[in-house]
């Protein structure tokens, strides 16, 4: 659950810079350029060795990534718009091109190049992804205030039971409303 004001803060990708990363065949980062590190709020050392989902934003529907993996595994280039999560909870949008890296005709890695997205595309894809998550995952984003006391209880329960805060809220609500 994104619970800080930071989740509303957007970092924009510089116009003349490319975010570059490479992963092994399982999606673990093997290379991150300085622009990627800067925009995601990590150091390159923190990124290398981590799964690329380290920057996954909860607003992104799973089906987008299923499609990405299907396309790149088939040997094609996946192109699309991705909202990513920064280390500090803020977010940034990128237009990404993800594809295989081949050595002597053998697939050895994947690479991704990313460019900035203009405002109208961000609004368009936020709406598309909200609708996809609603349809495919039955989930939507709500923004509300709860008491600090209840929030602390939720956080404690979540870490003790190793269950996400969303799951706990869903469970409590379905018990109360049945």
Ligand X SMILES: Cc1cc2nc3c(=O)[nH]c(=O)nc-3n(C[C@H](O)[C@H](O)[C@H](O)COP(=O)(O)O)c2cc1C
- Binding footprint of ligand X on the chain (CB under 6 A): 21, 23, 27, 52-53, 55-56, 60, 62, 65, 68, 82, 84, 98, 110-112
**Distance of closest approach, residue 167 Cβ to ligand X, in angstroms:** 16
H-assigned helices in the chain? 34-40, 44-47, 62-73, 119-137, 148-161, 165-177
Residue nearer to ligand X on the CB measure, 110 or 129: 110
Nearest distance from C-beta of residue 160 to ligand X, angstroms: 23
Q: Which is nearer to ligand X, 55 or 154 (CB)?
A: 55
Spatial strand order in the sheet of 78-85: 29-32, 19-23, 106-115, 91-103, 78-85
**Tokens found for residue 79:** 């192109």
Q: Are strands 29-32 and 91-103 parallel, antiparallel or unpaired?
A: unpaired
Cβ distance to ligand X smaller for residue 27 or 41: 27
Least distance from C-beta 158 to ligand X, angstroms?
Answer: 19
């Amino acid at each position: 659950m994104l619970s800080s004001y930071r989740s509303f803060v957007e970092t924009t990708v510089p116009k003349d810079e490319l975010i570059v990363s490479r992963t092994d065949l399982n999606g673990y980062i093997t290379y991150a350029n300085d622009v990627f590190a800067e925009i995601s709020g990590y150091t390159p050392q923190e990124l290398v060795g981590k799964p690329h989902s380290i920057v996954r934003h909860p607003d992104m529907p799973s089906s987008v990534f299923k499609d990405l993996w299907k396309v790149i595994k088939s040997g094609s280039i996946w192109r699309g718009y991705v909202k990513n999560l920064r280390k500090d909870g803020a977010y940034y949008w990128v237009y990404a091109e993800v594809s295989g890296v081949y050595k002597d005709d053998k697939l050895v890695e994947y690479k991704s190049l990313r460019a900035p997205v203009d405002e109208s595309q961000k609004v368009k894809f936020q709406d598309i992804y909200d609708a996809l998550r609603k349809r495919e995952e039955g989930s939507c984003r709500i923004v509300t205030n709860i008491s600090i006391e209840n929030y602390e209880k939720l956080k404690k329960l979540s870490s003790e039971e190793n269950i996400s805060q969303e799951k706990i809220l869903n469970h409590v609500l379905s018990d109360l409303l049945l």
